């Protein structure tokens, strides 16, 4: 556009020099008006093209890498928004937003169609399949260097191979059962550590590694399930034994309390005070029977010591 604008300006000067109006020509006013309008229109178009060629807009979340005659300007990366640039510069837009690269067994989840899960050998020689998602973003300060040394397709050249290599190098140090169960988080951290180093050396920032799914061979998976069921059954029996033991202790304490209470009562019934207590208890029971609405006849042994206390009507 800049070159076209310059050519229009040059053509405008040529036009004004060639298309001259002589005072003695007929309809001189119409020709002057035509010349003026043509000059003004060409000047407007040329100015628009020149201004448009030096103004570039970088989209949000992106940077602009400038390429001048095949040479990458590594020191002048453009930020998002409106920028004034050399009109001969080619602008390569590269995103610096968070990106996700997924390798999954599910056909619709990953960046590549079909089964893209990572198969890896473990320390015990078994093959496991893992689904992985990598969160990363391009460093703004390294965008020009990445474009110059790697290109805009750095995801296929760096992100994917580095992720698959880090997983395989990590998995080979662990048993299959460990990756599947108690050391899963440790494996994920080791993969993150390895990827972080590889990405940083190439101008890419690693945000997080998500180890989404681990698939074991069928025989190993069945063995793990049997083991887990046995452990759960053992824990259940342990709970039952503890419960029975607590119940036995409770009954023992209860029996001891009853025996102690009976011993105290037996000692209190000895002597005159004991007979008086029994007499009082006997009278109390007779009174309850007497006052009950269900009784119409009450027969009690005759005793001159008891009868006056009942106050029989």
Please give the tally of structural domains in the chain: 4
Give tens-digit pLDDT for 182-221. 788 888 899 999 999 889 989 999 999 888 888 777 777 7
Let me know if residue 68 belongs to a domain.
no
Q: Is residue 75 part of a domain?
A: no
- Nearest-CA neighbor of 224 among 180, 184, 187? 180
* Average pLDDT taken over every residue of the chain: 77
* CB-CB neighbours of 148 under 10 Å: 14
Same domain membership, residue 202 and residue 117: yes
Residue 117, phi-psi category: left (phi > 0), alpha (psi -120 to 50), beta (remainder): beta
Pairing of strands 62-68, 89-95: antiparallel
Distances (CA, A) of 222 to 127, 179, 225, 229, 236: 15, 16, 5, 11, 21
Q: Over 60: is that where the pLDDT of 310 sits?
A: no
Q: Which residue has the higher pLDDT, 260 or 18?
A: 260
**Residue 52 pLDDT more than 50?**
yes
Please give the pLDDT value at position 83. 86
Give whole-number Cα distances, 29 to 22, 25, 26, 32, 180, in Å.
11, 10, 9, 5, 92
Give the bridge partners for 65, in sequence order.
92
pLDDT band per the 50, 70, 90 thresholds, residue 60 = very high
5: exposed, middle or buried (Cβ count in 10 Å: 0-12, 13-18, 19+): buried
Whether the per-residue pLDDT at 159 is higher than 60: the answer is yes
Alpha carbons 75 and 84: distance in angstroms, whole number:
15
> 130 falls in which pLDDT band (50, 70, 90)?
confident
> Which of 196, 197, 188 minimizes the C-alpha distance to 170?
188
Would you state the pLDDT for residue 175? Answer: 85
Residue 35, in any domain of the structure: yes
The CATH number of the domain where 111 resides is what?
A: 3.30.479.30
Same domain, 232 and 211: no
At residue 278's C-alpha, the angle toward residues 275 and 280, to 5°, is 110
Arithmetic mean of pLDDT, 76-97: 87
Give the confidence band of 110 by pLDDT, cuts at 50, 70, 90.
low
Last-in-domain residue among 196, 216, 236: 216
Number of C-alpha atoms within 13 angstroms, CB side, residue 134?
27
Identify the three-state secondary structure at position 292: coil
Is 103 found in the same domain as 129?
yes
Q: Indicate the pairing of strand 204-215 with strand 127-138.
A: antiparallel
Say what the pLDDT of residue 311 is.
46
- 62 — pLDDT class (breaks 50, 70, 90): very high
Q: Which pLDDT band holds residue 308 (cuts at 50, 70, 90)?
A: very low
262 and 308 both lie in a single domain: no
Shared domain for 32 and 116, answered yes or no, is: no
pLDDT-wise least confident of 87-91, 182-186, 224-228: 224-228
Report yes or no on 81 lying in a domain.
no
Do residues 254 and 175 share a domain?
no
Q: Are residues 170 and 198 in the same domain?
A: yes
Above 50 in pLDDT, residue 307? no
Q: Decide if pLDDT at 33 tops 70.
A: no
Please tell me whether residues 131 and 199 are part of one structural domain: yes
Residue 66 lies in a domain: no
Which residue would you say has higher pLDDT here, 175 or 307? 175
CA distances, 292 to each of 282, 286, 289, 301, 310 (Å): 16, 10, 5, 19, 14
Whose CA is closest to 170, among 226, 220, 130? 130
SS3 207: strand
Do 33 and 50 belong to one domain?
A: yes
Question: Could you tell me if 157 and 151 are in contact, meaning their C-beta atoms sit under 8 angstroms apart?
Answer: yes
- Report the first-to-last Cα separation within the chain, whole angstroms: 130
What's the average model confidence in pLDDT over 229-249? 82
| DSSP-based three-state secondary structure for 258 | helix
Which residue did the predictor score with more confidence, 299 or 242? 242
Q: Give SS3 for 149.
A: helix
Domain that holds residue 228: 224-268
Residue 79 lies in a domain: no
Q: What pLDDT, on the 0 to 100 scale, is given for residue 32? A: 60
Which range of 43-57, 129-143, 224-238, 266-280 scores highest in mean pLDDT? It is 129-143
Query: To which residue do tokens 């999954």 refer?
Result: 104
With bands split at pLDDT 50, 70 and 90, how would you rate the model's confidence at 312? very low
Beta-bridged to residue 209, according to DSSP, are 134
- DSSP helix/strand/coil, 158: helix
Q: Which residue has the higher pLDDT, 189 or 257?
A: 189
| 291 inside domain | yes
* Residues 119 and 166 grouped into a single domain: yes
Residue 22 in this model has a pLDDT that exceeds 60: no
Report the share of the chain in percent with pLDDT over 90: 14
Kindly state whether residue 90 falls inside one of the protein's structural domains.
no
């Amino acid at each position: 556009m800049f070159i076209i604008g310059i050519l229009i300006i040059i053509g405008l000067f040529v036009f004004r020099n060639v298309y001259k109006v002589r005072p003695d020509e007929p309809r001189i006013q119409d020709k002057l008006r035509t010349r003026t309008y043509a000059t003004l229109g060409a000047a407007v178009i040329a100015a628009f093209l020149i201004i448009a060629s030096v103004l570039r807009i970088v989209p949000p979340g992106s940077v602009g890498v400038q390429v001048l005659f095949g040479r990458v300007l590594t020191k002048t990366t453009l930020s998002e928004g409106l920028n004034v640039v050399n009109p001969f510069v080619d602008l390569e837009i590269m995103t610096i937003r968070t990106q996700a690269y997924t390798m999954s067994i599910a056909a619709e989840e990953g960046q590549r169609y079909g089964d893209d899960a990572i198969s890896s050998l473990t320390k015990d020689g078994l093959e496991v399949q893992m689904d992985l998602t990598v969160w990363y973003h391009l460093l703004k300060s390294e965008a020009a260097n990445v474009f110059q040394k790697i290109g805009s397709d750095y995801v296929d050249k760096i992100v994917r191979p580095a992720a698959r290599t880090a997983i395989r190098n990590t998995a080979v140090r662990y048993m299959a059962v460990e990756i599947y169960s108690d050391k899963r988080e440790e494996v994920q951290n080791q993969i993150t550590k390895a990827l972080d180093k590889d990405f940083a050396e190439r101008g890419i920032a690693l945000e997080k590694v998500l180890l989404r799914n681990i698939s074991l061979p069928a025989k190993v998976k069945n063995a793990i399930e049997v083991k887990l069921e046995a452990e759960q059954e053992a824990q259940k029996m342990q709970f039952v034994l503890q419960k029975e033991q607590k119940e036995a202790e409770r009954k023992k304490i209860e029996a001891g309390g009853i025996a102690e209470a009976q011993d105290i009562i037996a000692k209190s019934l000895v002597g005159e005070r004991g007979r008086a207590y029994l007499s009082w208890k006997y009278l109390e029971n007779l009174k309850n029977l007497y006052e009950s609405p269900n009784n119409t006849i009450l027969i009690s042994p005759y005793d001159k010591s008891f009868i006056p206390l009942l106050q029989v009507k």
